[in-house]
Amino acid sequence: MSPKKLNLKDKYKLLTRDLDWEFSYEDRKEAFPYEEFEGIKITDWDKWEDPFRLTMESYWKYQAEKEKKLYAIYDAFAQNNGQTNVTDARYVNAIKLFLTGVSPGEHAAHLGFAFTGRQMGGIGARVAAQMQSIDELRHIQTQIHAMSHYNKFFDGFDEFNHMHDRLWYLSVPKSFFEDARTAGPFEFMIAIGFSFEYVLTNLLFVPFMSGAAYNGDMATVTFGFSAQSDEARHMTLGLEIIKFLLEQHEDNLPIVQKWLDKWLWRGYRLLTLVAMMMDYMLPQKVMSWQEAWELYFEDAAGALFKDLERYGIKMPDYTDTIKQEKEHLSHQAWWIFYQYTHAAAFHTWTPTAEEMDWLSEKYPDTFDKYYRPRWELAAEMEAKGERFYTTGLPQLCQTCQIPMAFTEMSDPTQVSYRESIYNDERFHFCSDPCKSIFDNEPEKYVNAWLPVHQILQGNCGGGGLDKVMEYYHLDDGVANLEFEGSPDAERWKEWKGVA
Amino acid sequence: MTIRALRDDYHGEFKDSLEKFGGAQLVYLGWDKHQMFCSSRAFPLPPEMRFQELLDNVMPEAFGQHPEFTQIDWNKAQWILDNSAFQPDHSKSLTELDIGHKSLLRLVTPELTGYKGAGI
């Protein structure tokens, strides 16, 4: 007699909820030691609704199918010399930024979801977080594999892993994820699961993936598509976690609201890199950062927060500041990288005349008045053979770790300086929200590994800039500096037969 | 509450306290309305450095690339130290002037309006 075949419903139950067991001789609190310290109250984990509706068995099957297709396309891309089909070699710098700045975040998310997949008390939530953890690991792998082909032809990719723990601007995404991962499991779930993967995800992935599509980068487009169904699942998990926490106990509301305020801002500051990528790095532009923010945040997330109002949730603090900054953000960011590109693992350049006109059209209230003159100055210096690389090291914000380059929205020519004194030591911030995040948990952020201070303490190779470059594994004169005249640019000209 | 941590007695390590800079203190220098420099800069300086030495030796490194730098009249320059107006005696040291570890010193030159008068 053949064994009885399970119907789908029973199989699902046995392979998800039924994986848990009653604790007969161990204290459940000791098994889940992180579950209470954040102040979140869970009354009944059985109320958790599984967002994925997937068993591990079918998960592997689906993912294996996707992998097969993805790697067939990677092979074809490599065999057809896909790297020669991008719009311009400048484009490749956008994906250098992706590999060094975004992909390690996938790995950090993998670790974070592995942690919550162990530490949340409810089996439904644990299984979902574990699946997301494996997804994130898959994402960094597929991204590395997609980029590995570019690595054969362009500089700045090869040491991404080493650089992630060292380079000054990479401390921005690194510290963002470490902030989330060193919080408790529920804050992590709101920070990354909801705020980042639900509210802000379209502002990260759509610009990079559409940017790739517009610029002939089929490898990146393909991993984007392959990750899309995973991202859709992650969004449902993000939404389930916030609804679940809010439905479990009314005391959870103020805690969750505070996390939303904090993580929307933290995520937005991180997206500064995306803003400059969209407005300055794509030879063929998709839309402006301002348009993306309006479409994906103001419209889409506006509706989401409206929906959450019934739980007592309000629109996160500081969205008004972000709204004001949208006409300034990308210009201020690219200016940082333009002048510090000698210490960056990608090239920068002044926008062309056509690009400046595009920027004027997209940013009619700000570009010509505040930012066009910066590029005119840069072009003037370049024409004299004095391409502008600035001297000295920037002062950094203690919270977001970005150089103190952001300005007052009431006076966009004035840098916005904020400070707090904690335990007789002075701390500096780029903005009110970054200051307020610090003031809430100073014992967390005094610990920040600020790259500039680490250099000045002699912890980054010691000695001068040359030692720092060695410590970074940054190939000086090759992977850094101005795009024009770089080995990347020269190789590209050779391929295209341009003198 | 200064942190929400698993253990109530958790304290963060102050990564940038004074003793970690080998006898120097950190001073941040900014030049208001001169955004050619994307941000203020961090310098490790000896606490006994005279203000005049800071003007002579550090300021050129910080801001010397600016086309208006040579036009600065140091006798007329205004200063903001840690968000308050400040009138330094050029012969005194950083310590004597209360320019502390991680102080922010901003130079203000209202007559110099930056590249093309655009605050750059």
Residue A480's CATH number: 1.10.620.20
For A482, the token pair is: 């101005």
Q: Establish whether this prediction's ipTM goes over 0.95.
A: yes
A333 to chain B: closest CA residue? B38
Residue A356: what residue type?
A: M
* The predicted structure's pLDDT at residue A125: 95
A391 located within any domain: yes
For B116, the token pair is: 């093309």
Residues comprising chain B, all counted: 120
Average pLDDT over residues A26-54: 93
Average pLDDT over residues A10-27: 88
Closest to A258 measured CA to CA, from A187, A307, A175, A188: A187
Average pLDDT over residues A51-69: 90
Domain ranges, residue A287: 32-496
The yes-or-no verdict on residue B113 having pLDDT over 90 is yes
Residue with the two structure tokens 């004095």: A386
What total number of domains does chain A contain? 1
Q: Which of residues 154-193 of A touch B (CB under 8 A)?
A: 183-184, 187
Domain boundaries, chain B: 22-117
Rg, chain A, Cα only: 24
For A267, the token pair is: 């995520």
Residue with the two structure tokens 């939530």: A125
Half-sphere exposure of residue B11, counting CA atoms within 13 Å on the CB side?
Answer: 6
Gap between the Cα atoms of B72 and B112, Å rounded: 8
| B58 close contact with A: CB closer than 8 A | no
CATH code of the domain occupying B22-117:
3.10.20.560
Helix (H, G, I), strand (E, B), or coil: what is residue A216?
coil
Residues with Cβ < 8 Å from A195, sequence gap 6 or more? A238, A259, A260, A263, A264, A266, A267
User: A155's torsion region: left (phi>0), alpha (psi -120 to 50) or beta?
Assistant: beta
Residue of A403, A425, A444 with shortest CB distance to B102: A425
Residue with the two structure tokens 């839309």: A287
| A259 close contact with B: CB closer than 8 A | no
Inter-CA distances, A2 with A12, A58, A396, B18, Å: 21, 22, 68, 75
Return the C-alpha torsion angle A170, A174, A179, A182, nearest 10: -150
Q: Could you read off the pLDDT of A457-493 as tens digits, one per residue?
A: 999 998 788 999 999 999 999 999 999 999 999 999 9
* The predicted structure's pLDDT at residue A56: 83
Gap between the Cα atoms of A435 and A399, Å rounded: 7
A11 located within any domain: no
A35 and A120 Cβ atoms separated by less than 8 Å: yes
Least confident residue range of A204-213, A411-420, B92-101 = A204-213
Q: What confidence tier does A12 reach under pLDDT thresholds 50, 70, 90?
A: confident
What's the gap between Cα B6 and its chain centre? 38
A390 to chain B: closest CA residue? B37
Residue with the two structure tokens 């790739």: A212
Gap between the Cα atoms of B21 and B101, Å rounded: 10
Q: What confidence tier does A55 reach under pLDDT thresholds 50, 70, 90?
A: confident
Mean pLDDT of chain A: 95
Put simply, the answer to whether B104 touches A395 (Cβ < 8 Å) is yes
Gap between the Cα atoms of A420 and B81, Å rounded: 14
Q: Percent of chain B having pLDDT more than 70?
A: 99
* The predicted structure's pLDDT at residue A1: 60
Q: Which residues in B lie closer than 8 A to residue A391 (C-beta atoms)?
A: 61-62, 64-65
Put simply, the answer to whether B12 touches A335 (Cβ < 8 Å) is no
Looking only at the bridges linking them, the beta strands covering B103-108 and B25-31 are: parallel
Inter-chain CB pairs, A–B, below 8 Å: 153
Average pLDDT over residues B25-41: 98
Gap between the Cα atoms of A228 and A231, Å rounded: 5
Q: Which of residues 63-102 of B touch A (CB under 8 A)?
A: 64-65, 82-83, 100-102
A238 and A148 Cβ atoms separated by less than 8 Å: no
> Cα(first)–Cα(last) distance of chain B, in Å?
42
Least confident residue range of A301-305, A339-343, B98-102 = A301-305
Q: Could you read off the pLDDT of B40-94 as tens digits, one per residue?
A: 999 999 999 999 999 999 999 999 999 999 999 999 999 999 999 999 999 999 9
Least confident residue range of A13-17, A154-158, A163-167, A258-262 = A13-17
- What pTM, to 2 d.p., does this model score? 0.97
Interface probe for A, chosen from B31, B34, B39 (most Cβ of A below 10 Å), is B39
Q: Which of residues 318-357 of A touch B (CB under 8 A)?
A: 332, 335-336, 339-340
Q: What confidence tier does A111 reach under pLDDT thresholds 50, 70, 90?
A: very high
Q: Which residues in B lie closer than 8 A to residue A448 (C-beta atoms)?
A: 15
A85 located within any domain: yes
